[in-house]
Amino acid sequence: MRMILLGPPGSGKGTQAAKLSVSLKIPHISTGDIFRSNIKEGTELGVLAKSYIDAGKLVPDAVTIGIVEKRLKNDDCRSGFIMDGFPRTIPQAEMFDTILQKLDSGVEAVINIHVPDDAIIKRMSGRRMCSCGRTYHAENNPPKVEGICDACGGKLYIRDDDRAETVKERLRVYHQQTSPLIDYYQKQGLLMNFDGLKSIDEITKQILEAVASIK
Ligand SMILES: [Zn+2]
């Protein structure tokens, strides 16, 4: 099964991708993870990507496409893949189609996990972290004493990425870039919508059922 996962930041898309990868025995390809590991290992690609990120710029499509193409040629992608975080824009989606055509293949399903913006802002802005690695949520999983880690007594903090203003900005960018992508795959008859407010396990189950029906 060759599938793409779409969903806003905080939709649980990465979690779903990981679970689906285990169930369907196909690799979970996260371009974010590939960039991070290349940067960590200091590869040529990593150095190139880091130069853009450090300058506050987006990594150009040509660079991203290059790493995706290389990854797809790995043997483990023969029976399919789950793309997470890519494609993000129409030009990327078009380039992705071209790459797959070259490999005599194509996308079979596009999974869109929908979560309303206000629910995402609530989810993400409630996250509290501790330097010991524990995480909490102000409403769903609060510490015994507000602002203090149960495990180590450390002071809890909010990651910059989880601040309401940051989340709103990320959602704005997401909607701007991804709405056209939803139309793009809808027109190809590949889009399947799922309610991201359901439990993690319920969503996985629904996706697996939907995917099984198109095989
Ligand atoms: Zn702690």
Per-residue pLDDT of the chain (215 residues; tens, 9 = 90+): 999 999 998 898 989 999 999 999 999 999 888 888 888 999 888 898 888 878 877 788 888 888 888 888 889 998 899 999 899 889 999 999 999 998 888 999 999 999 999 999 998 889 999 999 999 999 889 999 999 999 999 999 998 888 888 889 889 988 988 889 999 999 999 999 999 999 999 999 999 999 998 86
Q: Name the catalytic one among 70, 73, 159, 172.
A: 159
**How far is the centre of ligand 1, averaged over its atoms, from the C-alpha of 133 (Å)?**
6
pTM recorded for the entire structure = 0.84
For the question of residue 163 being annotated catalytic, the response is: no
89-107 in b/e burial notation, b at 16+ Cβ within 10 A? beebbebbeeeeeeeeeeb
HSE-up of 164 (CA within 13 Å, CB side)? 5
Determine how β-strand 81-84 pairs with β-strand 28-30.
parallel
**How far is the centre of ligand 1, averaged over its atoms, from the C-alpha of 174 (Å)?**
32
Closest CA relative to residue 86, chosen from 155, 24, 20, 29: 29
Closest CA relative to residue 129, chosen from 140, 116, 138, 117: 138
Cα gap 214→1, rounded to integer Å: 10
Instruction: Give pLDDT, residue 53.
Output: 79
**How far is the centre of ligand 1, averaged over its atoms, from the C-alpha of 196 (Å)?**
29
Q: Name the catalytic one among 19, 88, 123, 128.
A: 88
**How far is the centre of ligand 1, averaged over its atoms, from the C-alpha of 160 (Å)?**
18
Residue with tokens 């790493």: 67
For the question of residue 127 being annotated catalytic, the response is: yes
Instruction: Give pLDDT, residue 55.
Output: 81
Query: What is the DSSP-derived secondary structure letter of residue 132?
Result: T
State the Cα angle at 70 between 64 and 75, rounded to 5°.
Answer: 140
Cα gap 29→71, rounded to integer Å: 8
Instruction: Give pLDDT, residue 215.
Output: 63
User: Domain-by-domain residue ranges, the chain?
Assistant: 2-123+166-214
Instruction: Give pLDDT, residue 115.
Output: 95
Instruction: Confirm or reject CATH 3.90.850.10 for domain 2-123+166-214, answering yes or no.
Output: no
For the question of residue 159 being annotated catalytic, the response is: yes
Instruction: Give pLDDT, residue 54.
Output: 83
